[in-house]
Structure 1
Amino acid sequence: MGSLKSLAEAYWPHLAFILGLAAGGTAAVHAAMTKHDVRAAIGWVGICLMSPLVGPFFYLIAGINRVRQEHISEERNRSLQDYFANPDLPEADIGDLGAPQFTSLRVLGDRVSRFPLRDDNRIQILRGGDEAYPAMIEAIEQAQKSVALQSYIFDNDRAGRAFVDALSRAHERGVEIRVLIDAVGSKYSHPPIIRLLRKQGIPCALFMTNPLGFMRMPYANLRSHRKILVIDGCTAFTGGMNIREGFVTDYAGEDTAIDTHFRVDGPVVLQLVAVFAHDWAYTTKEILPYQTWSCDAWRVPGPCAPARCIRSGPDRYLVGTHNMLLGALAVAQKHIRIQSPYFLPDQVLMGAINTAARRGIIVDIVIPGRNNLRLINYAMTAQLDQIIRTGCRVWRSRGNFNHSKLITIDGAWSYVGSSNLDPRSLRLNFELDMEIYSRETAGEIERLIEHEIENATLVSLESLAATPFRKRLRNRIIWLASPYL
Structure 2
Amino acid sequence: MQMFEAILQLTTVHWVTITVILHISFSFLTSVHVLLFKENERTSLAWISLVILSPVLGGMFYWLFGINRIKRLAQKEHPPELKEDLRQEETTIKFHWLPRHWHSAIISGYTIHPLSHLAGNTVEPLINGDAAYPEMIQSINRAKRYVVLSSYIFDCDSLGQQFVNALAKAQQRGVTVKVLLDGIGIRYSWHKSDRALKKLGVTTARFLPAISLTSIRFINLRNHRKTLCIDGELAYIGGMNISKNNVVKSAKKPIDDVQFKVTGPVIDQISQVFVEDWFFATREKIQFPQYDPSAPTPMQLSNNSVLSRVVQDGPDENHNQVKWTLINALVCAQKSVKIITPYFIPDQSLMTSLHAAALRGVSIEIIVPGNSNIPFINWVMEANFSRIIQHGIKIYTNNRPFDHSKAVMIDDIWSFIGSSNWDARSLEFNFEINLECFDADLNAKLTALFDVKRQNAALVNKSEINALPIYKKVRNNLFRLFSPYL
TM tier relative to shorter chain: over 0.9
Residues 75-97 of structure 1: CA deviation (Å, up to 9, x unaligned)? 4217x72433266xx865432x4
Is the aligned partner of 1:61 residue 2:57? no
**CA deviation map 1:141-199 (0-9, x unaligned):** 11111111111111111111111110000110111111111111111123531111221
- 1:283 is matched with which residue? 281
SS at match of 1:238: strand
Deviation at 1:27, TM superposition (A): 2.3
- Per-residue deviation, 1:332: 0.5
1:27 aligns with 2:30: yes
392-401 or 104-113, which deviates more: 392-401
Name the SS of the counterpart of 2:87 in structure 1: helix
- Farther off after superposition, 395-404 or 440-449: 395-404
TM-score (norm: length of structure 2): 0.93
Percent identical pairs in the alignment equals 34
Once the two structures are TM-superposed, the CA of residue 214 in structure 1 deviates from its matched residue by 5.9
CA contact (8 A) 1:65 1:314 kept: yes
Q: Deviations over 1:359-401 (max 9, x none)?
A: 1111111112232221111110111111212101111222332
Task: State how far apart, in whole Å, the 2-side matches of 1:130 and 1:210 are.
Answer: 32
> Structure 1 residue aligned with 2:258, among 260, 269, 274?
260
Deviation at 1:293, TM superposition (A): 3.7
Give the match's secondary structure for 1:124: strand
For 1:295, which of 291, 294, 303 is the aligned residue? 291
Q: CA deviation at 1:472?
A: 2.2
Unaligned runs of 5+ in 2: none
1:235 corresponds to:
234
Cα distance between partner residues in 1 of 2:53 and 2:62 = 13
Confirm or deny: 8 A CA contact 2:183 2:210 kept in the other structure.
no
Residues of 1 paired with 2:403 and 2:235: CA distance?
23
State the match for 1:309 in structure 2.
Answer: 310
| Change in 2 beyond 3 A, CA 1:423/1:283 | same
Q: Encode CA deviations 1:104-147: one digit per residue, 9 max, x unaligned.
A: 11112211112111111111110000011111111111111111
State whether residues 95 and 106 of structure 2, in contact with CA within 8 Å, keep that contact through their aligned partners in structure 1: no
Q: Distance in 1 between matches of 2:210 and 2:382?
A: 36
Q: Which residue identity lines up with residue 358 of structure 1 in the other structure?
A: L
CA contact (8 A) 1:84 1:274 kept: no
Say if 1:369 and 1:398, in contact at 8 Å, map to a contact too: yes
CA–CA separation in structure 2 for the residues paired with 1:294 and 1:424: 32
8 Å CA contact 1:29–1:45 kept in 2: the answer is no
CA contact (8 A) 1:94 1:437 kept: no
Count of aligned positions: 476
Is the contact made by 2:153 and 2:242 (CA closer than 8 Å) also made in structure 1?
yes
Equivalence for 1:469: 470
For 1:119, the equivalent position in structure 2 comes to 119
State the partner residue of 1:41.
Answer: 44
Q: SS of the counterpart of 1:22?
A: helix
- The whole-number CA distance in structure 2 between the counterparts of 1:323 and 1:62 is 24
Distance in 2 (CA, whole Å) between partners of 1:284 and 1:449 is: 40
Work out whether residues 412 and 440 of structure 2, in 8 Å CA contact, stay in contact via their aligned partners in 1: yes
| C-alpha RMSD over aligned residues | 2.1
2:245 and 2:376 mapped to 1: Cα distance?
A: 20
Question: After the TM superposition, which residues 410-421 of structure 1 pair with which residues of structure 2 at under 5 Å, given as runs?
Answer: 410-421=411-422
SS at match of 2:45: helix
Rounded to whole Å, the distance in 2 between the matches of 1:366 and 1:75 is 38
Cα drift, residue 296 of structure 1: 3.7
| Of 70, 81, 88, the match for 1:76 | 81
Looking at structure 2, the residues matched to 398 and 275 of structure 1 have their Cα atoms a distance apart, in angstroms, of 35
The offset of 1:35, in angstroms, is: 1.1
Q: Which amino acid aligns with 1:377?
A: N
Alpha-carbon shift at residue 284 of structure 1 (Å): 1.0
Q: Does 1:110 align with 2:110?
A: yes
Aligned to 1:94: 96
Farther-moved stretch of structure 1 (234-243 vs 36-45): 36-45
CA contact (8 A) 1:313 1:431 kept: yes
Partner of 1:355: 356
Task: Tell me the residue number matched to 2:154.
Answer: 154
**Separation (CA, whole Å) in 2 of partners of 1:325 and 1:108:** 12
C-alpha separation in 1, matches of 2:325 and 2:101: 14
The one-letter code matched in structure 1 to 2:471 is: R
Q: Does 1:131 align with 2:131?
A: yes
Which residues of structure 1 form unaligned runs of 5+?
none
The CA distance in 1 between the partners of 2:144 and 2:424, in whole Å, is: 40
Residue number in structure 1 paired with 2:195: 195
The 1:150/1:460 distance shift into structure 2, 3 A limit, reads same
* Native 8 Å contact 1:335 1:410 kept in 2: yes
Q: Indicate the SS of the match to 2:408.
A: strand
TM-score by length of 1: 0.93
Q: Quick one: distance in 1 between partners of 2:53 and 2:468?
A: 35
For residues 285-319 of structure 1, what are the alpha-carbon distances to aligned partners after superposition, in whole Å with 9 as ceiling and x for unaligned? 11112xx4433435122311110011111111111
Q: Which moved more, 1:324-333 or 1:4-13?
A: 4-13
Deviates further, 238-247 or 54-63: 54-63
C-alpha separation in 2, matches of 1:369 and 1:173:
46
Counterparts of 1:198-213 in structure 2, within 5 Å, are: 198-210=198-210, 213=213
In 2: Cα distance, 1:467 partner to 1:45 partner: 32
Say if 2:90 and 2:116, in contact at 8 Å, map to a contact too: no
2:53 is aligned to: 50
Q: Does 1:85 align with 2:97?
A: no
SS of 2:251's equivalent in the other structure is helix
C-alpha distance in structure 2 between counterparts of 1:426 and 1:179, whole Å: 24
Give yes or no for contact 1:309–1:435 (8 Å, CA) kept in 2.
Answer: yes
SS in 2 for 1:249: coil
Per the TM alignment, residue 55 of structure 1 is displaced from its structure 2 partner at its CA by: 3.3
1:404 aligns with 2:405: yes
Deviation at 1:15, TM superposition (A): 4.5
Tell me the residue number matched to 1:393: 394
1:174 is the counterpart of 2:178: no
Deviations 1:257-277 (A, max 9, x none): 111110110111111111111
Measure, in 2, the Cα distance between the counterparts of 1:435 and 1:68: 24
User: 1 CA distance for matches of 2:371 and 2:22?
Assistant: 48
Shift of 1:51: 3.9
Amino acid at match of 1:295: Y
Q: Is the 8 A contact 1:407 1:415 kept in 2?
A: yes
Partners of 1:364 and 1:392 within 8 A in 2: yes
Structure 1 residues 23, 192: CA separation in 2 closer, same or farther (over 3 Å shift)?
Answer: farther
Structure 1 CA distance, aligned partners of 2:137 and 2:192? Answer: 20
Whole-angstrom CA distance in 2 between matches of 1:221 and 1:9:
42
Shift of 1:457: 1.4
